[in-house]
Structure 1
Amino acid sequence: MVMIKNFLEAIDKANNIVLSTHSFPDADGIGAEISLCLALKEKGKNAICCNDEPLLERYKYLDPKNVVHSVDVMEEVYPHQPDLVIVVDTNTILRTGKKFKEYYDKYNCDILYIDHHPCKEKYVDQHCIDTSKAATGQLVGELIQEGLKLAFTKDMALPLYTAILIDTSSFRYPTVTASTHELIAKLMATGIEPPAAYNGIYGTKKIEHMHLLGHVLSSANVNKSEEIAWITLKKEDIRHYDIDIEDTHAFINNLLILDEVKVACMFRDDGDMVKISMRSSGEYDVGAIAIALGGGGHSHSAATVIKKTDKDTLQDIVCDIISQIERELENASIV
């Protein structure tokens, strides 16, 4: 298998290995880098995780061995020249953040991407890219088993379980397959308890989170056919309710419970730009729609960013984008 060959060739010739993920990381990127780092350490590699910024408090329980550090402290905690950088959950160094890119440029060592997002065709042959996987965590789990030939420890298993749980929105996306659940079974065999794992990532919200969710859902709308639903979120709302922006990503999933809805959108107004997140109930490819709008992503989950002009209002952008999505759905093929 080309992917495992690429993986083993990269790590076999490296001892000092630095792992990273995209800036503003989610549980998939964090879980994947932590688990793989622990596995590489078990194989005798001098491995460490280095991200653009320190690990958020909410994710620290996934890292009991304290393998994740920020660029700012790398000279102190890891005074070694890396032989290899492994970037998970993205396939471009630009998405790792300004500080980490500067760190990488300083050493200009070999780099390996491990990811399940669409990428340049040449990367598939050179890196570990598989867009059929439900999460980067699933991809990493298979590399640990089939490439490194390691059994999971509980410290490896919890980050991977959480990565897959989050990136599949609790196993609801069409990319979830029998092999996903087979991997989950092996992770659970280490002693992971699903209720505790679920509550660790989802059960830590404050009442302000619920108030903001209610406020945002009150903006819910559907188009005439009721196939498209959307909500809006403004920067001042996040500030008013004192909520971390990371806690708002799942708001959009509430729209998918509506009976006729095929595509859900969340418009997040950040001031000079609007981020548009899209989710599919499974029938239409929102990744293709996002590409048509200048963004990208998966068939079930995608996003794009629209720059605002002085004349643009959020409502103008919403109306324009919904009209464009309606046209795309008219011409779209069903997944």
Structure 2
Amino acid sequence: MAAIGLISIDNYDDLIEKKDDKQVSYLNSLITTLISDWASENHVFYKRINSERFLFVAKYSDIERMKEEKFQFLTRVRQVAEKNDLALTISMGISYGEESFEEIGEVAQNNLDIALVRGGDQVVLKEAKEEAKPQFFGGNTDGTPKRTRVRSRAMSTALRKIFAENQRIFIMGHRYPDMDALGSAFGVAYMAMMSDKECYIILNPKEITADIQRALEELKKYPELERFVITGEEAVNLSNEESVLVMVDYHKPSMSISQAVYDEFDKIAVIDHHRRGDEFPDKPLLTYIESSASSASELVAELIQYRASRRSQVPKFITTSLLAGIYVDTKNFTVRTTGRTFDIAGYLKNQGADTSLVQYMLSTDLDSYLMISELVSRSQHFREDIVIAAADEDRVYDSVTVAKAADTLLSINGIHAAFVITKQPGDLIGISARSTGKVNVQTLMEALGGGGHFTNAATQIKNSSIGDVENQLRAELTKNEQ
């Protein structure tokens, strides 16, 4: 059985940016030597197709052997890179099967795209069958930022074109939305307003957390914006053939606020900052997933920046909500920030974002504080630098409280990963996972049906108990150590 693969040097342009010709030549020689040695060891035929891409063909039996070794080549590349003081990582997309080479090659290309969207430094392997599930290997380093202003501007233009071709724009975040989901939703709504289109933001009144409730109370001061908010049932009734759905801050259909709304739309756009997983909309009109971004709010605010004229004044509620979304996902600008994050925050502040209102929206009331303290008190060490807090089986917690408890545990000196397990609304058992970067919580949560970021992830499990879920988590942590 044949296998086709593509190799990408994740950050080649950044590596050569400030190097002279001699250094670039040495780097290319190093990369070629690494890949040539790997190909010889594994009986692989390869060809360099451009400065940062390689194509290879192999027997599936050889790929299977590499799979059993968890593609140790990724580790070897990192080790050699560290010795040479280089931020060098690679990604692979591999496919195999009895299908035509054309079909196998297309799946391999798609697998590589997924690997890059997920942050690079990993292998995505998937059989060339529609029903096959991808397998992920590596991803043991946080992603290198690859977002460029050119790409952001292109995405802004593409979204503008999609809006121009449709009459009604529907915007939906994930269940139990946080301020990042709400802020990015209102940001997209503002872009729809700039295109003179009808726009609607879908919320479920039964799935509103405390911070979103405070934001909605503030929204009442802006009746021209409040009218955008509708329920899933209303969205289904309002949609027509000239409607498009924009998914913000998530990309897994099963996490939609309303599954009925998602099923209603053939035309879908995705704007997200979480690492892409297996579950994904079929043939979206636009996919803007940047795992190097701090938040969906950062991505949307940047899109607005490219759309708005210098004289444009974004409504205060929208700029404040976008800034609150960035605050939430960066833990007050302490994690997952880049220079772009601060640039966007400065832009929002100049546009009238109210930081005191942000603090109010994100504040914690006494009851929530006591619940957080209780969860923290139930934590136990899995090992010296990893803690697990399992709540009482009879108490239901909202996702915001659980996330804050995980953040609190991670702030303790010497803790590099924290997991909080609670019962959540809808008869679900949820895990909120946080990491300083020494543990990849995303792959752990993916193994349990969830996903997220390298340092910030979660999952929800149906028809289970806190005890069973804790055992599953401990088993995955043990497997991860091997």
Q: TM-score, normalised by structure 1?
A: 0.81
Letter in 2 for 1:34: F
What is the DSSP-based 3-state SS (H/G/I as helix, E as strand, rest coil) of the residue aligned with 1:44?
Answer: coil
Q: Which residue of 1 aligns with 2:304?
A: 144
After superposition, give the CA deviation of every residue in 1:179-201 in whole Å (9 maximum; x if it has no partner): 10111011111333323311222
**Structure 1 equivalent of residue 392 of structure 2:** 234
CA contact (8 A) 2:386 2:415 kept: yes
Q: Verify: 1:102 aligned to 2:260, yes or no.
A: yes
Matched, 1:133 2:293: yes
Of 211, 216, 241, which residue of structure 1 is paired with 2:375? 216
8 Å contact kept, 1:52–1:96: no
Residues 1-20 of structure 1 aligned to structure 2 (within 5 Å):
1=151, 2-20=154-172
- Give the C-alpha shift of residue 234 in structure 1: 3.1
In 1: Cα distance, 2:290 partner to 2:416 partner: 25
1:280-316 residue CA offsets vs partner (Å, 9 max, x unmatched): 012222112222344321101112344566xxx6445
1:165-184 equivalences under 5 Å are 165-173=327-335, 175-184=336-345
Q: 3-state SS of the aligned residue for 1:276?
A: strand
Q: Deviations over 1:89-128 (max 9, x none)?
A: 112433224xx4424544x442111111222699799422
Alpha-carbon distance in 1 for matches of 2:297, 2:338: 14
Structure 1 position 255 matched with structure 2 position 413: no
Q: Indicate if the aligned counterparts of 1:116 and 1:131 stay in contact, CA closer than 8 A.
A: yes
Indicate conservation of the 8 Å contact 1:35/1:155, yes or no.
no
Equivalence for 1:34: 186
Unaligned runs of 5+ in 2: 1-150
| C-alpha distance in structure 2 between counterparts of 1:316 and 1:237, whole Å | 16
**Aligned pair in 2 of structure 1 residues 124, 62: CA closer, same or farther (>3 Å)?**
farther
Return the alpha-carbon distance in structure 1 between the equivalents of residues 343 and 158 of structure 2.
Answer: 24
CA distance in 2, matches of 1:250, 1:123: 35
CA contact (8 A) 1:29 1:88 kept: yes
Distance 1:44 1:85, change over 3 A: same
CA distance in 1, matches of 2:406, 2:274: 20
Q: SS at 1:234's partner residue?
A: coil
Matched ranges for 1:1-335 at <5 A: 1=151, 2-53=154-205, 56=208, 57-61=213-217, 63=219, 64=222, 65-66=225-226, 67-74=228-235, 82-97=242-257, 100-106=258-264, 108-119=265-276, 126-147=286-307, 149=309, 152-173=314-335, 175-203=336-364, 205=365, 207-224=366-383, 226-238=384-396, 244=398, 246-269=400-423, 274-306=429-461, 314-315=466-467, 317-328=469-480, 330=481
Inter-partner Cα distance in structure 2 for 1:235 and 1:200: 29
Task: Give me the TM-score of the superposition, normalised by structure 2.
Answer: 0.58
DSSP-derived class of the 1:236 partner: coil
- Cα distance in 1 for residues equivalent to 2:259 and 2:471: 37
Deviation at 1:219, TM superposition (A): 0.7
Q: Distance in 2 between matches of 1:316 and 1:20?
A: 32
RMSD, matched Cα: 3.0
Task: Name the CA shift for 1:274/1:74 in 2 (closer, same or farther; >3 Å).
Answer: closer
Moved more, 47-56 or 23-32: 47-56
Larger radius of gyration: 2
**SS of alignment partner, residue 282 of structure 1:** coil
* Number of residue pairs the alignment of both structures matches: 315
Is the CA contact (8 Å cut-off) linking 2:417 and 2:435 kept in structure 1? yes
- The alignment partner of 1:172 has SS state of coil
Give the % identical residues. 21
Q: Mean alpha-carbon deviation: is it higher for 80-89 or for 164-173?
A: 80-89
| 47-56 vs 297-306, which moves further | 47-56
Relative to structure 1, the CA distance from residue 39 to residue 273 in structure 2 (aligned partners, 3 Å threshold; closer, same or farther) is: closer
The question of whether the paired residues in 2 share the 8 Å contact of 1:7 and 1:128 is answered with no
SS at match of 2:474: helix
The letter for the 1-side match of 2:167 is: N
Shift of 1:29: 0.9
**1:150-202 Cα deviation digits (max 9, x unpaired):** 553323201101111112222222x2111101110111113333233112221
Shift of 1:253: 0.8
The answer to whether the 8 A contact 1:18-1:82 is kept is: no
Q: Deviations over 1:20-54 (max 9, x none)?
A: 21222111111111122123213312222123447
Structure 1, unpaired ranges of 5+: none
Which segment is superposed worse, 45-54 or 21-30?
45-54
Aligned-residue offset at 1:85? 1.6
Cα distance in 2 for partners of 1:273, 1:51 equals 20
Look up the equivalent residue of 1:208 and give its one-letter code: D
CA distance in structure 1 between the aligned counterparts of 2:395 and 2:206, rounded to whole angstroms: 25
Q: Specify the SS of the correspondent of 1:291.
A: helix
| Contact 2:433-2:456 within 8 A present in 1 as well | yes
Distance 1:62 1:6, change over 3 A: farther
Which digits, 9 at most, give the CA deviation of each residue in 1:135-154, with x for residues without a partner?
A: 00011111111245555332
